[in-house]
Amino acid sequence: MKKIYWILLLFLTACSSKLVIPSSFDLPKMQVKVPSMTIEKANKGHDLYVHRCSSCHHLHDPGKFTDNQWTSILAKMLPKAKVTALTDQQLITDYLKSLSK
């Protein structure tokens, strides 16, 4: 089952060419907007975003929206995606906002 999850995750990530897969190279840029960002948090946020949000629609490039726009979008979409754990909500939010325009 775990193998299927990783194959699906890889496939979804490959289909979203503009979606940033966080690396240590991106971290300083991400920390400008979210100072507490770590590479571990960035990767968890990315994985949650891919897994939870792509089940209903294509994934948006995080740089497509501003910090305030993501706040508004996520207020509506996180409940629809049934992301109820506050830590998961924060990881997705921080990932997207750290790469926002």
How many domains, the chain? 1
Contact 13, 19 (CB under 8 A): yes
101: which residues sit within 8 A by CB, 6+ positions away?
63, 64, 65, 66
Kindly list the distances between the CA atom of residue 81 and the CA atoms of 19, 25, 46, in Å, as whole numbers in the listed order: 19, 30, 15
Contact 89, 48 (CB under 8 A): no
pLDDT digits (tens, 9 = 90+) for 15-66: 544 687 899 999 999 999 999 999 999 999 999 999 999 989 999 999 999 9
Q: Which of 43, 45, 51 is nearest to 70 (CA)?
A: 45
User: What does the block give as tokens for 83?
Assistant: 């992301």
Contact 33, 67 (CB under 8 A): yes
pLDDT digits (tens, 9 = 90+) for 67-78: 999 999 999 999
Q: What domain range is 77 assigned to?
A: 2-18+25-98
Query: Could you tell me the pTM of the whole model?
Result: 0.81
